[in-house]
């Protein structure tokens, strides 16, 4: 733009403008292409990537990139919700899925952002660390000619009769600055104008470097956790024992480099689970206020038993893993007799909590029934209540009036082929319904201790008792401790880098014609330093005390300048 304007001014005729522009283009391409080869390109790209501007851009891009992960359900946290979401939004779902909107934090684009950011960070930190190492080993920079140009500047005059020559004054100043933590270099001590350069606050940059390096450390720790860690879930009914082997888990998520031999075969038995509900505040009655699981653990099959208490926010550690109390519910105990009159199933059935007050769904599969396999699905209500519309609901989380509401089926459960099934779902495709609201036989409604006989002599079901179950999450993350250490290092480095100030001080002394020793000093901060004026005032006071100068009327800080001007107005 500006070049063509210049060309216009030089030559008024249209043809020559074009010619000039053409020449200019030619010159530009001639100048640019041969110099910037492949290596040059790389260097250019590297300089661009490691520039502060790019780092800032990537940082903001990282913030923007993280947002979709909170807007859409994520597979890593909730795979079922994602499948449902895509099913419910057939228009946008597959498109968003192609953009990896449901796997944001493992997506190619999010990874690209943070990997580029960390490369940029390394490319920025490394040269800075080298430069800082050199700076720490070298002497403070030479004394500027005009100290009065520095942001903080002051002069002191030592009377001729004080007997402090310029050379002594500079050494005194050097001593004072050293005591104050400055690194001091005295120049030309015996010359006419001796001076010193001093610097302090090298820790600021060290803190800065530690902060940024620790962030890399955190990232590596997270990667270690992903490689060598594992996590799993297990539901434990009162009386049941979990043994830490692969088959012991209901669900297991291994890290990339996980080996099953690394599982220590400890065991955990749930003895008792106690949930306490709020009975005090009238508007919040039934809100849970405490969950306590009493467990018995064994470090390995031969170890002695140990009683422990597992609570929310209070995990137990066992065999290099941690166990967390993450859920709980009721497990009604039932006995199912088949058409031949034999007990085909007996035991607790975990009821999956679906709504308020432990309104839970129940699925019972009886593959051992003869002549027919039996299946039940329905609901468990700890405190059953029937509304005026005839709809059953749970009025309280405690076991005041436990009730099972079930439909029953017979036929092929589909378990014999060996295909894995969801234990919480009954596939009724190949089943014939026996009981149900709409059928003549009606639904099965069982109170505690009651038995219902199935129609057509298919058997019976008895509601014996109710047990409780807990959901336990088991985690092993070897990177966790390192992440914490690096996190603490990062925050320490951050504080140091923000609150240590890197300052330079120069002092120059000389002898005035009338015999007085004149001292001038100047201060310069590297980076933000709002307390530089305060430091200047403190140094002035130190100098004045050292040389016994009554504090001159000169204002120590610019703030006083402002107050004096305000009086003028």
Partner 1 sequence: MPAINETLGQYSELFMLLAAGTYTVAFIAFAWDLAKSSKTFQAVDLKAAASSTSEKVSVAAGRVGAALSGADAGGPAGRAERPTSGLTHAGGTAAGDMKYTAERRVPARVAVALTVLGVLIHGAGVVTRALGAGRVPWGNMYEFLTTGAFVAVAVFLITLIRRDLRFLGTFVLGLAIIMLVAASVSFFTPVGHLVPALQSYWLIIHVSIAVLSSALFTLTFAMSVLQLLQSYRQKNLSAGRNDNLAFMSVVPNALSLENLSYRINAIAFIGWTFTLMFGAIWAEKAWGRFWGWDPKEVWTFVIWVVYAGYLHARATRGWTGTRAAWLSIVGYACVIINFTLVNTVFNGLHSYSGL
Q: Which is nearer to partner 1, 149 or 272 (CB)?
A: 149
Percentages helix, strand, coil for the chain (3-state, rounded to 5) are 40, 30, 30
By CB under 8 A, tell whether 70 contacts partner 1. Answer: yes
Which position has the token pair 């109390």?
325
Q: Which is nearer to partner 1, 126 or 564 (CB)?
A: 564
Q: Which is nearer to partner 1, 49 or 518 (CB)?
A: 518
Site string for partner 1, 245-284 (x = CB under 8 A): ---------------------------------x-xx-xx
Q: Which is nearer to partner 1, 408 or 517 (CB)?
A: 517
Among 119, 216, 312, 489, binds partner 1 (CB under 8 A): 312
By CB under 8 A, tell whether 495 contacts partner 1. Answer: yes
By CB under 8 A, tell whether 307 contacts partner 1. Answer: no
Q: In whole angstroms, what is the distance from residue 171 CA to residue 160 CA? A: 18
Task: Give helix then strand counts, H and E, for the chain.
Answer: 13, 24
Q: Which is nearer to partner 1, 326 or 453 (CB)?
A: 326
517 in Cβ contact with 169 (< 8 Å): yes
Among 159, 327, 455, 510, binds partner 1 (CB under 8 A): 510
By CB under 8 A, tell whether 83 contacts partner 1. Answer: no
By CB under 8 A, tell whether 398 contacts partner 1. Answer: no
The window from 3-11, 135-143, 368-376, 556-564 that contacts partner 1 (CB under 8 A) reads 556-564
Q: In whole angstroms, what is the distance from residue 277 CA to residue 286 CA? A: 5
Contact positions with partner 1 (CB under 8 A) in 512-551 = 512, 514, 518, 520, 527-528, 530, 533
Residues 6 or more apart in contact with residue 71 via CB below 8 angstroms = none
Contact positions with partner 1 (CB under 8 A) in 433-492 = 473-475, 477, 480, 483-484, 487-488, 490-491
Q: Which is nearer to partner 1, 242 or 463 (CB)?
A: 242
Rounded least distance, CB 343 to partner 1, Å: 38
227 in Cβ contact with 257 (< 8 Å): yes
Binding residues with partner 1: total (CB under 8 A) = 86
By CB under 8 A, tell whether 91 contacts partner 1. Answer: no
By CB under 8 A, tell whether 494 contacts partner 1. Answer: yes
Q: Which is nearer to partner 1, 62 or 423 (CB)?
A: 62
Among 216, 243, 498, 542, binds partner 1 (CB under 8 A): 498
DSSP string covering 48-75: HHTSHHHHHHHHHHHHHHHTHHHHS--T
349 in Cβ contact with 367 (< 8 Å): no
By CB under 8 A, tell whether 222 contacts partner 1. Answer: yes
The window from 175-183, 261-269, 443-451, 558-566 that contacts partner 1 (CB under 8 A) reads 558-566
The window from 301-309, 312-320, 390-398, 422-430 that contacts partner 1 (CB under 8 A) reads 312-320
Contact positions with partner 1 (CB under 8 A) in 180-199 = 193
* Tokens matching residue 278: 């709020």
With helix as H, strand as E and coil as C, how does 361-401 read?
EEEEEECCCCCCEEEEEEEEECEEEECCCCCEEECCCCCCE
By CB under 8 A, tell whether 62 contacts partner 1. Answer: yes
Give the count of beta carbons closer than 10 Å to the beta carbon of residue 331.
24
Q: Which is nearer to partner 1, 86 or 374 (CB)?
A: 86
329 in Cβ contact with 297 (< 8 Å): no
By CB under 8 A, tell whether 67 contacts partner 1. Answer: yes
Which position has the token pair 């015996």?
190
Give the count of beta carbons closer than 10 Å to the beta carbon of residue 370.
11
350 in Cβ contact with 331 (< 8 Å): yes
Is 535 strand, coil or helix? helix
Q: In whole angstroms, what is the distance from residue 355 CA to residue 395 CA? A: 11
Q: In whole angstroms, what is the distance from residue 31 CA to residue 41 CA? A: 15
Rounded least distance, CB 167 to partner 1, Å: 15
By CB under 8 A, tell whether 430 contacts partner 1. Answer: no
Q: Which is nearer to partner 1, 205 or 407 (CB)?
A: 205
Site string for partner 1, 120-159 (x = CB under 8 A): --------------------------xxxx-x-xxxxx--
Q: Which is nearer to partner 1, 367 or 555 (CB)?
A: 555
Residues 6 or more apart in contact with residue 235 via CB below 8 angstroms = 250, 327, 350, 469, 470, 471, 472
∠ at Cα 264 (260, 267), nearest 5°? 120
Among 314, 386, 425, 541, binds partner 1 (CB under 8 A): 314
Rounded least distance, CB 490 to partner 1, Å: 8
Among 386, 380, 377, 387, residue whose Cα is nearest residue 402: 380
The window from 50-58, 244-252, 260-268, 401-409 that contacts partner 1 (CB under 8 A) reads 50-58
Phi first, then psi, for residue 500 (nearest 5°) are -90, 135
Element holding 308 (H helix, E strand): strand 306-311
Rounded least distance, CB 273 to partner 1, Å: 12
Rounded least distance, CB 257 to partner 1, Å: 18
């Amino acid at each position: 733009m500006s070049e063509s304007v210049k060309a216009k001014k030089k030559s008024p005729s249209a043809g020559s403008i074009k010619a000039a522009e053409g020449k200019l283009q030619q010159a530009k391409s001639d100048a640019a292409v041969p110099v910037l080869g492949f290596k040059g390109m790389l260097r250019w790209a590297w300089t661009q990537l490691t520039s502060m501007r790019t780092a800032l851009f990537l940082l903001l891009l990282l913030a923007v990139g993280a947002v979709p992960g909170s807007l859409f359900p994520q597979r890593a946290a909730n795979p079922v919700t994602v499948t449902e979401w895509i099913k419910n939004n057939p228009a946008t779902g597959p498109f968003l899925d192609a953009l990896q909107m449901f796997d944001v934090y493992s997506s190619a684009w999010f990874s690209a952002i943070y990997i580029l950011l960390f490369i940029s960070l390394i490319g920025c930190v490394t040269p800075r660390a080298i430069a800082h190492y050199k700076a720490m080993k070298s002497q403070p920079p030479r004394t500027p000619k005009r100290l009065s140009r520095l942001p903080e500047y002051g002069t002191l005059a030592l009377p001729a009769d004080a007997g402090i020559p310029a050379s002594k004054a500079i050494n005194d100043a050097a001593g004072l600055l050293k005591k104050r933590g400055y690194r001091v270099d005295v120049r030309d001590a015996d010359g006419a104008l001796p001076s010193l350069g001093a610097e302090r606050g090298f820790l600021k940059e060290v803190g800065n470097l530690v902060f940024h390096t620790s962030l890399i450390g955190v990232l590596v720790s997270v990667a270690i956790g992903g490689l060598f860690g594992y996590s799993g879930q297990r539901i434990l009914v009162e009386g049941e024992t979990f043994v830490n082997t692969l088959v012991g888990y209901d669900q297991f998520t291994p890290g990339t480099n996980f080996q099953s031999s690394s599982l220590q075969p400890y065991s955990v038995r749930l003895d008792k689970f106690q949930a306490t509900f709020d009975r005090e505040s009238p508007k919040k009655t039934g809100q849970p206020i405490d969950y306590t699981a009493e467990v018995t653990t064994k470090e390995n099959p031969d170890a002695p038993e140990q009683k422990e208490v597992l609570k929310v926010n209070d995990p137990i550690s066992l065999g290099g893993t941690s166990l967390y109390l993450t859920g709980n519910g009721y497990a009604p105990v039932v006995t199912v007799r088949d058409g031949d009159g034999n007990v085909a199933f007996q035991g607790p059935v975990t009821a999956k909590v679906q709504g308020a007050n432990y309104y839970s769904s129940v699925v019972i599969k009886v593959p051992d029934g003869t002549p027919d396999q039996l299946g039940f699905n329905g609901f468990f209500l700890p405190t059953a209540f029937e509304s005026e519309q005839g709809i059953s609901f749970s009025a309280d989380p405690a076991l005041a009036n436990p009730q099972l509401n079930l439909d029953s089926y017979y036929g092929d459960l589909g378990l014999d082929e060996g295909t894995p099934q969801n234990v919480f779902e009954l596939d009724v495709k190949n089943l014939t319904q026996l009981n149900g609201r709409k059928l003549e036989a009606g639904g099965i409604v069982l109170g505690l201790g009651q038995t219902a006989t199935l129609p057509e002599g298919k058997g019976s079901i008895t509601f014996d008792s109710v047990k409780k179950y807990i959901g336990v999450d088991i985690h092993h993350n070897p990177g966790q401790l390192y992440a914490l250490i690096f996190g603490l290092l990062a925050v320490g480095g951050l504080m140091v880098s923000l609150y240590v100030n890197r300052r330079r001080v120069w002092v120059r002394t000389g002898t005035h014609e009338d015999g007085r020793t004149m001292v001038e000093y100047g201060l310069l901060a590297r980076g933000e330093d709002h307390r530089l004026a305060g430091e200047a005032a403190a140094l002035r006071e130190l100098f004045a005390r050292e040389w016994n100068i009554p504090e001159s009327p000169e204002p120590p800080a610019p703030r006083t300048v402002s107050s004096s001007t305000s009086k003028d107005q």
